[in-house]
Structure 1
Amino acid sequence: MRRRSGHPQDPVYSVTSAPESLRDDQSERMRRYLISMGIRTVCFLLSVLAIVVLHWTVVGWTLVAGAVVLPYVAVVMANATRARAVGSVAPVPPADQRQIRERPEDQQ
């Protein structure tokens, strides 16, 4: 007959305060970057259309300025990493000691 080695007073840690996984963080940053680059491409194509075809120079050059500025904004947004919470995981005491049950194989 084996007994549990842990003491009933051992701290139990909450997983709800755990940070987002690295893979989820990276995929979210990549998604934001690709959306920004897509908007940049649309700005560039619309600027060519506005300047060459429609002769809307003010609108065209405004779109060119947007196409020039957006890569900087996209890179800054892509490099903005998740917030690193230091010491946010704290022990959570069990609400009721009766809720702690032994495993069935420990009862033999």
Structure 2
Amino acid sequence: MPRPHRHHHDEPVVQSVTTVPESLAQEQAGRIRRYLVTMGIRTACFILAVLTATRGAPWWLWGSLAVAAILLPYVAVVLANAVRPRAPGSSAPVTPRGDGPEQITR
């Protein structure tokens, strides 16, 4: 774990962002993507359940597909509403280097 930099009393403390949480738009896009993928799998399970049942496939095969088609909407909604806890951003003081432009003083 890095040690925080110590600064002298005459130097200003400059905060530096070291971790930035995922943006709200990116998080929502990811949840929408997971929902659509899950519902696509549900649709495929439903169609396959109907096809396998009408073509005389074993009951356990079409039954498993039908159960998946029934349960996947619940899973899709739970995953879509599961918001990850926002990790607090951390910051640490950074001693400014003297090779940049002049700092504005008060």
- Higher helix content, 1 or 2: 1
Q: Does 1:72 align with 2:71?
A: no
Q: CA deviation at 1:92?
A: 2.0
- Aligned CA-pair RMSD: 2.3
Task: Kindly provide the CA deviation profile for residues 11-57 of structure 1, in whole angstroms up to 9, marking residues without a partner as x.
Answer: 3131x412111110000000000000000001001101111113322
Q: Is contact 1:13–1:89 with CA below 8 Å preserved after alignment?
A: no
- TM-score (normalised: structure 1): 0.74
User: Match for residue 41 of structure 2?
Assistant: 39
- TM-score (normalised: structure 2): 0.76
Q: Is contact 1:43–1:63 with CA below 8 Å preserved after alignment?
A: yes
User: Match for residue 91 of structure 2?
Assistant: 91
Partners in 1 of 2:98 and 2:63 — Cα distance? 68
Q: Structure 2 stretches of 5 or more lacking a match? A: 1-9
- Higher strand content, 1 or 2: 2
Q: Is contact 1:37–1:71 with CA below 8 Å preserved after alignment?
A: yes
Q: How high is the sequence identity, in percent, across the aligned residues?
A: 40
User: Match for residue 56 of structure 1?
Assistant: 58
Q: Structure 1 stretches of 5 or more lacking a match? A: 1-6
Q: Does 1:11 align with 2:11?
A: no
User: Match for residue 101 of structure 2?
Assistant: 102
Amino acid at match of 1:12: Q
Moved runs in structure 1, 4+ residues, more than 6 A? Answer: none
